[in-house]
Chains A and B, each alone.
Chain A
Amino acid sequence: MIKTDTLIIGAGPTGLFTAHQLKLIGLDCEVVDNLDKIGGQCIELYPDKPIYDIPAVPECTGEELTNNLIKQLKPFNIKFHLGERVDEVKKDNDNWIVKTNNGKSFSTPNVIIAGGVGSFEPRKFSPKECEKFENKSLFYSVKDKKVFDGKTVTIFGGGDSALDWAVELSKIAKVNLVHRRDEFRGADATLNKVKELTSAGKINLLTKYQLVSVSGSNKIESIDIKSDDGGTKNLKTDYVLGFFGLIMQLGPIANWGLNIDKKTIEVDTEKFETNQKGIYAVGDICKYPGKLKLILSGFHEGALAARACFKLARPNEKYRFEFTTSSKTIKDRLGIKSD
């Protein structure tokens, strides 16, 4: 059981700046995120897209913003638990017991949900029977490519993941690459490689096709794909891989007893506390009159929630407001020598 003053759920820009605010006022925190990297939507959805409305930053990309926030956290030693999803939040006297899907547990008086629109999960195939084969002969990511050795693998998708795996797996397996249109959005170099391998007969490329059904008893034996003009094709295949990017799902947050309306959590605007004492929500996931889904609003919300955490984490101390420009205590925390 890990004990901390505050657990932050979500390592997007709001979660990161909230961590900074907590450390400035002398509280500990740990951060959990379901993605395997720091940055949330900024890094997953728009790493290269420019953002123009961060105060005092005329223009930066999602990736640059994330890197700068990480840099700002450098003076502090913050523990990130990546690739883990918080599944359970339960009350235990004055503390919350928080458990992740990997079996980690935390005990903390404060939980700050900075979860955006929920956790990122892979987008799945639409035919219902796909579920039955998931993680057996149908996958949305590759953990061990050796299982495909000598087999037939059908890959769906038109982005870098689909193209990269088509190239990689063509070395050890028979590969079908299926995409819904002729254009691909992956890197040009990889696309050229795919075309080369297709001409050489190493990859069987099928465009303007989508998956309609999967057949097999315990494992997949064949699949049907359908083209835009209505024609269908049956493909014998041992494995199916789908790379359609990630989607945000509210997931287990819905079960924690919070007031939720349209995937957002109701909070007050003084502490950004939910209907549960010691659980706060900040950033895109919180809702209050006048809420704007802007990164700058998340920063403000995190700063106030951090102050609210102080009361529960240090019940016998009084919080004193201080400026970073003048406070010796804060400068010590930042590791800056004051003269």
Chain B
Amino acid sequence: MPKITYITHDKKSHTVEVQNGLTVMEGAVQNDIPGIDADCGGGMACATCHVYVKEDWLNKLPIKEDGEEDMLDMAFEPKTNSRLSCQLTVSTELDGLIVDIPSKQT
């Protein structure tokens, strides 16, 4: 199973195995990794599953769908490497992905 690493704001690293087909958001929620709220449950409607993706991974991720950038406008401290983790579906290609979780979601 692909391994995803979540780095929480206190610099703690959490590496977990996430099943193919689940999203990076679901991987965090199911493994009780703090800092991902996911209030809307993955509907790309709330921007509370916001993560920063390590630069070298940016191009390997699925392209942003219409609406993701709009939602990121509302995220807490968005940057150029911001993504909504509910839009990142885990696959073998994403094995080893590292994401940073912001200090807060709202």
Contact = CB atoms under 8 A, between A and B. Distances in A.
A244 interface: yes
A158 B48 contact: no
A228 interface: yes
For the residues of A in contact with B, the DSSP-based class is: loop
Q: Which of B43, B70, B74, B80 has the most CB of A within 10 A?
A: B74
Given A159-B73, A180-B73, A185-B73, A293 B80 contact: no
Contact of A117 (B39, B73, B74, B78): B39
B26 to A, nearest CB: 13
Interface string A105-143: 000000000000100000110100000000000000000
A50 to B, nearest CB: 12
A336 interface: no
Interface string A283-306: 010000000010000000000000
Contacts of B43: 45-46
B48 A247 contact: yes
Contacts of B70: 158-159, 185
B45 A41 contact: yes
B21 interface: no
Contacts of A187: none
B106 A123 contact: yes
Interface in A19-74: 41, 45-46, 49
Contacts of A126: 76-77
B74 A46 contact: no
Contacts, number: 50
Interface string A232-261: 000000000000110111000000000000
For the residues of B in contact with A, the DSSP-based class is: loop
B41 interface: yes
B28 interface: no
A248 B73 CA distance: 16
A12 interface: no
B43 to A, nearest CB: 7
A119 B80 CA distance: 30
A157 B73 contact: yes
A181 interface: yes
Given A46-B43, A46-B45, A249-B106, A244 B74 contact: yes
Contacts of A247: 39, 46, 48, 74, 106
Given A41-B40, A210-B77, A228-B79, 16 more contacts: A45-B46, A49-B45, A117-B40, A123-B76, A126-B77, A158-B73, A159-B73, A180-B78, A183-B69, A244-B73, A245-B73, A247-B39, A247-B48, A248-B46, A249-B106, A293-B41
Interface of A: 41, 45-46, 49, 117, 123-124, 126, 157-159, 179-181, 183, 185, 210, 228, 244-245, 247-249, 263, 284, 293
